[in-house]
Amino acid sequence: MTRAIRLTPSLREKVWGRKRLQPWFPDAERPVGEAWFQTDRELPLLVKLLFTSDRLSVQVHPDDGEDGPRGKTEMWHILEAEPGASVALGFREPISRQRLLESTRTGAVEDLLNWIEVKPGETYFTPAHTVHAIGAGIVLCEIQQNSDVTYRLWDYGRPRPIHVEQAVPIADLTVHPGAGRPVKLYDGCEELVRAKHFVTQRICLPAGESRTPEPQMCQLWIALEGSGNIGPDPYRPGEVWLLPETGDQPAIHADQPSTFLRTWVPG
């Protein structure tokens, strides 16, 4: 049996980040906005934890082949949310491309967006072309295509590049459906997202229970709560583990009640 590989977190300082990172990481001296989980080879999926104390830019991502071979479709699973915390996905009502262009010149685009109050445990699917923003007071797990191509439409006056010429032509101008509805597969397992780039489940293991998954391409287990072992290796919250793509799989055994996101690239 091949052992799972624990991905290495890379903490990224951001102006909109925060210093309180527990229970996932020790608190920081400088504001951390993102933790990227990486290994010694590039994977088709990238997992991040985001920590926000301010709004992120209003942005949109291209699809495959529009700015390089790989676009950026992503999903957000809310881990923590202060009262009133919200994300923006799409628009409150369908708009014209000309109106979107004009709104980026004044910041009025903020008021056109559909801001949704979020709660822990909710999942939001954000396909390429979705205009979106993440608000303050949120910790979320982002699962995405491994691409960092981002077009900003509005950034609240921060001194960073804006990409209106690239963003406006590809923006989806319709209304986003909002939070996804989990589909129960069996006790302790719900499907959160099924898309061409990734499938994601939420798996809950009671204390003392084990599960041995089927092999999949780029299968990542993201530990959100609890403790136990993946094969012979202990896990804790805030860790991401890459399982082998073929052969016998390591069993996931929970010593304490545990919650995971399990994601992979469908064949």
Show pLDDT as tens, one digit a residue, over the chain (267 residues).
689 999 999 999 999 999 999 999 999 999 999 999 999 999 999 999 999 999 999 999 999 999 889 999 999 999 999 999 999 999 999 999 999 999 999 999 999 999 999 999 999 999 999 999 999 999 999 999 999 999 999 999 888 999 999 999 999 999 999 999 999 999 999 999 999 999 999 999 999 999 999 999 999 999 999 999 999 999 999 999 999 999 999 999 999 999 999 999 998
| The amino acid at 220 | L
Contact yes or no for 259/190 (Cβ under 8 A)? no
Supply angle C-alpha 245, 240, 78, rounded to 5.
120
Cα–Cα distance measured from residue 67 to residue 70, given in angstroms and rounded to the nearest whole number: 8
- Its pTM surpasses 0.75: yes
We find that the CATH architecture of domain 55-170 is Sandwich (2.60)
Q: What contacts 260, CB < 8 A, 6 or more positions away? A: 202, 203, 204, 205, 221, 222, 223, 224, 252
Q: Which class in CATH covers the domain with range 183-265?
A: mainly beta
Positive or negative torsion for Cα 240, 177, 165, 52: negative
Portions of the chain given CATH number 2.60.120.10: 55-170, 183-265
Contacts of 14 (CB under 8 A, 6+ apart): 31, 32, 33, 34
239 token code pair: 């860790």
The strand order across the sheet containing 233-235 reads 210-211, 252-254, 228-230, 233-235
